[in-house]
């Protein structure tokens, strides 16, 4: 099934996704141990992404796998949501292992409801940075790239997780995150699915494996 309707950009109220540097969709599916795979159109797939994000009972059961987009495969669904406490440790380890196999793997969470932002950047089996705005104590690594540039522009010379929450600068940063959204970091490090251009190939729906 082709994706001639790929003008549908990937959006959701709460958007979680994994980005793997690869052009081999089948290899990524295999590495993630996904099951019950079927093809879908981009229009139906994007609608399903938002439906799954709103499903409180089955939100971690279904993911959407894109074909290659500018050298990256995206796997979308709350299953990869860093801010969800039941997922954080598992997807962090998963991303680390994927980066050892594929070279680069990244996780992102973006909320259109102002519920926070999160990202994890891993390369060669090492986590370079993890930031979860709602849980700054879980931060790992050093800010770099666009995060570092926006922090500097905001007047924050250190790490945001080290700021005193009562500090006015910390409050001002937290009010807008200095426009440093997960989509901003994704644009800088890999692919921003909310602005990704049309591609060819099949969009897949799959069941995510249980890790319990």
pLDDT in tens, 72-110: 999 999 999 999 999 999 999 999 999 999 999 999 999
CA 86 to chain centre: 16
pLDDT at residue 197, rounded to an integer: 67
Is pLDDT at 12 greater than 90 in this prediction? no
**Could you report the per-residue pLDDT of 104-139, keeping only the tens digit for each?**
999 999 988 778 899 999 999 999 999 999 999 999
pLDDT of residue 139: 96
DSSP H/E element including 18: strand 14-21
User: Rounded CA gap, 92 and 33, in Å?
Assistant: 16
Query: Phi/psi of residue 47, each to 5°?
Result: -65, -40
What pLDDT is attached to residue 212?
56
Q: Which residue has the higher pLDDT, 2 or 17?
A: 17
- Find the mean pLDDT for residues 4-31: 84
Summarize the confidence of residues 52-63 as an average pLDDT. Answer: 78
- Highest-pLDDT range among 27-36, 113-122, 200-209: 27-36
- pTM of the predicted structure, to 2 decimals: 0.92
- Of the pLDDT bands very low, low, confident and very high (cuts 50, 70, 90), residue 159 is very high
What CA–CA distance (Å, rounded) separates 83 from 73? 22
Residue 160, SS3 per DSSP? helix
pLDDT of residue 3: 41
């Amino acid at each position: 099934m082709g994706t001639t309707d790929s003008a549908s950009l990937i959006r959701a109220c709460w958007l979680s996704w994994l980005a793997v540097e690869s052009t081999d969709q089948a290899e990524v599916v295999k590495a993630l141990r996904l099951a019950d795979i079927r093809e879908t159109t981009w229009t139906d797939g994007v609608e399903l992404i938002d439906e799954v994000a709103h499903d409180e009972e089955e939100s971690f059961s279904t993911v959407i796998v894109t074909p290659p987009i500018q050298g990256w495969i995206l796997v979308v669904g709350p299953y990869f949501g860093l801010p969800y406490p039941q997922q954080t440790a598992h997807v962090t380890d998963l991303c680390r292992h994927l980066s050892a196999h594929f070279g680069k793997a990244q996780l992102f969470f973006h909320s259109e409801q102002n519920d926070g932002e999160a990202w994890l950047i891993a390369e060669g089996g090492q986590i370079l940075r993890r930031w979860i705005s709602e849980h700054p104590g879980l931060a790992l690594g050093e800010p770099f790239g666009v995060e570092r540039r926006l922090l500097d522009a905001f007047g924050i010379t250190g790490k945001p997780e080290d700021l005193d929450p009562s500090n006015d600068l910390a409050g001002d940063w937290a009010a807008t995150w200095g426009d440093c959204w997960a989509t901003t970091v994704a644009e800088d490090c890999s692919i921003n699915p909310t602005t990704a251009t049309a591609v060819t190939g099949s969009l897949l729906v799959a069941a995510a494996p249980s890790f319990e």
